Amino acid sequence: MKKKIIWVGSSTILAICIVLIAAGNYFYNVAINRSQESVDLHGGGESVTAAKLLSEEEEQEKLEEITAWTKKQNFEMVEIKSEDGLKLKARFLKNDQPSGKAVILAHGYKGNSEQMPGITKFYYEQGYDILKPDARGHGLSEGDYIGYGWHDRKDYVQWSEFLAEKAGADDIFLHGFSMGAATVLMASGEKLPEQVKGIIADSGYTTVLEELSHQLKYLYNLPAFPVMQVTSVITNLRAGYTFAEASAIESVAKNKLPLLIIHGDQDALVPTEMGNRIFEKANSDKELWIVPGAGHTEAYTIAEQEYQEKLKAFWKKATGK
């Protein structure tokens, strides 16, 4: 009888372990592994407010204007090699009226450097050179996995050095959206070139563990423990980082640069409270702007003019110019 109990208990534990490992590998392949497949993240849709801002005709006209401007620009493909040997690509747009100002725009999860055309146009019109990297595991950059900003943070140090040393930039800002926001926040805790003057994070998450746990709950109705912990172990073995260490909130505590945090109050993909907590943790000169009615990364759509004025004021304060 005792042997039978031990056998049943051992078999049950083994079965649970097999299921957890299978689940961990599944979630790794869905969320971390580079693939062409995409998952509909919870809270990833547009808000009702955003949809009502412009009529279909006005929205189409605005899109056509931005698209036409983008097609006229001469983006140069540039490349760096990461610390771990990956070839990373970026689109670089030199301003035809050089001012010594530059911005690095960081795209979101499963995005690429061709995105963010509206904010690209705005920065260019303000005299900025524009650098738009493809994050590792995205677009034209090498990489077999998505780092959610953690390994990318060191890539952004190198991209900043590229702008300072090869493009002659005197004033550099890092501006990211969603995963890109977490990336620039994580980079803010590193030793950046002195030419980097400020960090702008739009809809960034606190840690990869908290963000993926949030998605797991709403997409699959599963508790984070122990699935996320097992997936984190698998990620560490296959990609070299854990979900807990990939922390924007801990990185921002080390940051000494001026910081502008932007978050929509209707953000269901990256909960607004994450933006509040990042702001509270930051020790540098900081500003938090919670945008009424905005869903995930919708602040520029919801309040374009105010967004632009916020940026101008932030640049001026950060550079003294």
State pLDDT tens for residues 251-296.
999 999 999 999 999 999 999 999 999 999 999 999 999 999 999 9
pLDDT of residue 4: 52
Section 48-60 average pLDDT = 63
pLDDT of residue 98: 86
d(CA 177, CA 263): 10
d(CA 308, CA 231): 40
Assess whether pLDDT exceeds 80 at residue 202. yes
Q: Are 199 and 269 in contact (CB under 8 A)?
A: no
Assess whether pLDDT exceeds 80 at residue 42. no
Please tell me the least confidently modeled range out of 5-9, 118-122, 131-135, 254-258: 5-9
pLDDT of residue 7: 47
Q: Are 80 and 158 in contact (CB under 8 A)?
A: yes
Which residues neighbour 39 within 8 Å (Cβ) at sequence distance 6 or greater? 30, 31, 219
Nearest residue to 159 (alpha-carbon basis) of 171, 146, 174, 145: 174
Assess whether pLDDT exceeds 50 at residue 239. yes
Section 74-81 average pLDDT = 96
Distances in whole angstroms, Cα of residue 310 to Cα of each of 249, 288, 291, 299: 23, 11, 12, 11
Section 177-196 average pLDDT = 98
| First and final C-alpha spacing in the chain | 82
Which residues neighbour 247 within 8 Å (Cβ) at sequence distance 6 or greater? 186, 206, 207, 208
pLDDT band at 248 (very low <50, low <70, confident <90, very high): very high
pLDDT band at 3 (very low <50, low <70, confident <90, very high): low
- What count of Cα atoms within 13 Å lies in the side-chain half-sphere of residue 62? 12
Helical (H) or strand (E) element with 101: strand 101-106
DSSP assignment letter at 87: E
Strand partners, 260: 200, 287
Interhelix angle for 152-165 vs 179-187, to 10°? 70
Q: Are 95 and 124 in contact (CB under 8 A)?
A: yes
Residue with tokens 């920065």: 123
Please tell me the least confidently modeled range out of 21-25, 64-68, 116-120, 171-175: 21-25
Residue with tokens 């520029």: 300
pTM of the model: 0.92
pLDDT of residue 189: 97
pLDDT of residue 8: 44
Assess whether pLDDT exceeds 80 at residue 44. no
pLDDT of residue 45: 47
* CA torsion, ordered 287, 291, 294, 296, to nearest 10 deg: 10
Assess whether pLDDT exceeds 90 at residue 37. no
Q: Which residue has the higher pLDDT, 54 or 32?
A: 32
Sheet holding 101-106, edge to edge: 76-81, 87-93, 128-133, 101-106, 171-177, 196-202, 259-264, 286-291
Nearest residue to 180 (alpha-carbon basis) of 123, 224, 128, 138: 138
Assess whether pLDDT exceeds 50 at residue 9. no
Chain segment 163-174, per-residue pLDDT in tens:
999 999 999 999
d(CA 13, CA 7): 10
Mean model confidence pLDDT for the chain: 89
The amino acid at residue 43 is G
pLDDT of residue 278: 98
Assess whether pLDDT exceeds 80 at residue 311. yes
Q: Are 44 and 269 in contact (CB under 8 A)?
A: yes
Please tell me the least confidently modeled range out of 16-20, 43-47, 243-247, 264-268: 43-47
Interhelix angle for 2-31 vs 227-239, to 10°? 60
% of the chain with per-residue pLDDT over 90? 74
Phi first, then psi: what are they for 264, rounded to 5°?
Answer: -80, 145
